[in-house]
Amino acid sequence: MMLTFILGACVGLVLGLTGAGGGILAIPALTLGLGWSVTQAMPIALLAVGSAALVGAVQGLRQGLVRYKAAATMAVAGWLVAPLGLYAAARVSSTLLMTVFAVVMLVVACRMYVPVRGAEHTSSTLQRNCMLDPATGRLDWNARCLATLVSIGGASGFFTGLLGVGGGFFIVPAFRKFSDVRMHGVVATSLMVVTLVSLGTLAHLFNQGVTLTWAGALFTVSALVGMIAGRLAAPNIPAPLLQQGFSLLCVGVSLMMLGRAFCGVG
């Protein structure tokens, strides 16, 4: 029981700090920490991450950090694509799901770590698909920006359905790469999308007969506690340090998952 609470709190903490890591770490926490299969862990991970992300999203809205139109666009795309991920997840083995999950984590770790080292050499005036209007401070909506946000939302929705990860690990680096929104705004917007897509996907699972266990409820409550702590601490920690730390954590967890999938380790 204590282990369940600690794992949930850690997942919420990372989600609050990065806006990306909580979702992708929820499944490993439940599979490696509690011995569940990916299929068993998926609905609990979605509930915990979606609920915890809601806390951060509401805080971001109150602070004016959430790009709510962008969040709504990505969420709608995610809702439409998530059932495809659920369909695929129901038709592959748990070992294959765990392997795919581990590989995704390694890719995410590399993509988030490498740009940090070169970020200082990147021009702040670089033209991106979604640019803020200097006059209004809002995104300048055009066909290219809309297509970009729909693609990001659709990809996050597929991963949410397939792996039960919330999609924040994909939204944060992609939205940051293709827009000039500041990091704290990117994280807050990501949390809103994660909330909407995770809880929407969870509704599909509940309609299929999935039920919530006491362990799942405890994991969710502890994730909320960790989320609050993470959001309070995030403004005091440099964004590059958060990205690098999260990247290294992802590498370690993914290697543990690969060891369990192929060798029964962990």
Note the pLDDT of residue 41: 84
pLDDT over 90 percentage in the chain? 14
Note the pLDDT of residue 152: 94
Residue 63 pLDDT more than 50?
Answer: yes
Q: How far is CA 238 from CA 1, 189, 229, in A?
A: 34, 18, 16
Tell me the three state secondary structure of residue 142.
coil
Confidence of residue 150 (pLDDT cuts 50, 70, 90): very high
Note the pLDDT of residue 140: 86
Distance from C-alpha of 263 to C-alpha of 260, rounded to nearest angstrom: 5
Q: Which of 122, 162, 136 is nearest to 69 (CA)?
A: 136
Distance from C-alpha of 170 to C-alpha of 162, rounded to nearest angstrom: 14
Q: What is the average per-residue pLDDT within 42-59?
A: 84
Helices (H), 90-182: 94-118, 143-163, 168-178
Boundaries of every domain in the chain: 2-116+136-263
Note the pLDDT of residue 81: 94
Q: What does the pLDDT look like over 82-118, one tens digit per residue?
A: 999 989 988 888 788 888 888 888 887 787 676 544 4
Confidence of residue 80 (pLDDT cuts 50, 70, 90): very high
Residue 32 pLDDT more than 50?
Answer: yes
Q: What does the pLDDT look like over 237-254, one tens digit per residue?
A: 887 787 778 788 888 888
Tell me the three state secondary structure of residue 130.
strand
As separate numbers, helices (DSSP H) first and strands (DSSP E) second, the chain gives: 11, 0
Distance from C-alpha of 142 to C-alpha of 77, rounded to nearest angstrom: 17
Q: Do 244 and 113 meet the contact criterion of CB atoms below 8 Å apart?
A: yes
In DSSP terms, 130 is beta-bridged to 179
pLDDT, mean over the chain: 82
Note the pLDDT of residue 69: 92
Distance from C-alpha of 255 to C-alpha of 208, rounded to nearest angstrom: 32
Dihedral pair phi/psi, residue 5, rounded to 5°: -65, -45
pTM for the whole structure: 0.77
What number of other Cβ atoms are within 10 A of residue 132's Cβ?
Answer: 17
Tokens representing 163 are: 């792996």
Q: What does the pLDDT look like over 192-237, one tens digit per residue?
A: 998 898 888 888 888 877 777 888 889 889 988 988 888 788 778 8
